[in-house]
Copies of this chain bind each other. A is one copy, B any other.
Amino acid sequence: MAVRHFIEPNSFSLDEQLALLDLADRMEANPAPYAHLCDGRILATLFYEPSTRTRLSFESAMLRLGGKTLGFAGAQLSSASKGETVADTARVVSNYADVIAMRHPKEGAPLRASMYARVPIINAGDGGHAHPSQTMIDLMTIRQRKGRLDHLTIGFCGDLKFGRTVHSLTAALSQFEGNKFVFISPEELRIPQYVKDETLTPLHQTYKETTDLEAELPALDVLYMTRIQQERFFNEEDYLRLKGCYSLNAKLLELAPPDMPVLHPLPRIDEIKLDVDNDLRAAYFDQVHNGVYIRMAIILALLGIPDPLTGKTVLN
């Protein structure tokens, strides 16, 4: 049987994505039956750029399944500094681990790795391209809060140009009927044309673009905030000018519906003020919590381990 990988959300069919969300929900409700499913298995975390959250979340997921981990937390700690290709690293690490989570600054690196690996590759973020486990987390959190993934008006606010989580979630939500997308950003950080061309237009999704968060707030079902990412800018000046352009606070949130969850992939800087944290609509720490279960589900899916409660695997 061919090895499956998780490079972008649609590496899994829509049915498989939904099965993944269901499994994550079941594990969150009742983790005990899953605590030894990966005994004796090893996850490698190959992180060519640092990420506390994503790396530790994957490692925690594997540990909570009974498995073990190894890996590196920065390119300077890897053989990349000796000029090794991602293809060779993937082949090599296939001997050390049963599944690999890879973060890489270059778009396409995990895909390339998957062409050479003998074990499943999980894309844990590749430059501006995709971060599919984050997308599953976002879907899980929205579904928990709203009870559905269709017929929603979703506002995306902040850096929509470089924010790969926005691109991925837009694509993922486009699979469902009746969603409306509101893209709120400064002119310089608008959603790229290719995202609209490739995901919104072909599926006849409704969207609009605006710079005005305040005006849109009352009509949103979901608000997805993002950080202006310094590391994606080529010059400091542009970053400094744009970094404070949106800032959600308790006052502003009064304009929003009482059941509008606020999501954010974290880390956040100033774009969500601390006075929002205790508002029941703040869903970004839920996302972190859900992240471990989503990653547990991805690992089980790719290793072909069935849910002991249902007897079913996520992938067909």
Q: Which residues of A contact B (CB under 8 A)?
A: 35, 40, 42, 44, 50-53, 56-57, 59-60, 63-64, 68-74, 76-84, 88-89, 91-93, 95-97, 227, 229-231, 266-269, 285, 288-289, 291-292
Q: Is the CB of B56 within 8 A of A96?
A: yes
Given known A35-B40, A50-B81, contact A95–B59 (CB-CB < 8 A) = no
Q: Is the CB of A266 within 8 A of B92?
A: yes
**8 residue pairs, one from A and one from B, having the closest CB atoms:** A84-B267, A60-B96, A52-B79, A59-B70, A73-B77, A52-B78, A63-B68, A56-B96
Question: Across the interface, which residues of B come within 8 angstroms of A40, CB to CB?
Answer: 35
A188 to chain B, nearest CB (A): 20
Given B56, B60, B88, which contacts A267 in the complex, CB threshold below 8 Å?
B88
Given known A50-B76, A50-B77, A52-B72, contact A60–B266 (CB-CB < 8 A) = no
Give me 20 other A-B pairs in contact (C-beta within 8 A), A52-B79, A92-B288 excluded: A42-B63, A42-B64, A50-B81, A52-B78, A52-B84, A52-B92, A56-B71, A59-B96, A63-B70, A74-B76, A74-B77, A82-B269, A83-B269, A84-B268, A84-B269, A88-B266, A88-B267, A92-B266, A95-B285, A95-B292
A34 to chain B, nearest CB (A): 12
A32 to chain B, nearest CB (A): 10
Q: Is the CB of B93 within 8 A of A56?
A: yes
Complex Cα spacing A78 to B77, Å = 13
Q: Is the CB of B52 within 8 A of A89?
A: yes
Given B50, B88, B91, which contacts A78 in the complex, CB threshold below 8 Å?
B50
Given known A92-B266, A95-B291, A288-B92, contact A60–B56 (CB-CB < 8 A) = no
Question: Across the interface, which residues of B come within 8 angstroms of A68, CB to CB?
Answer: 63, 68
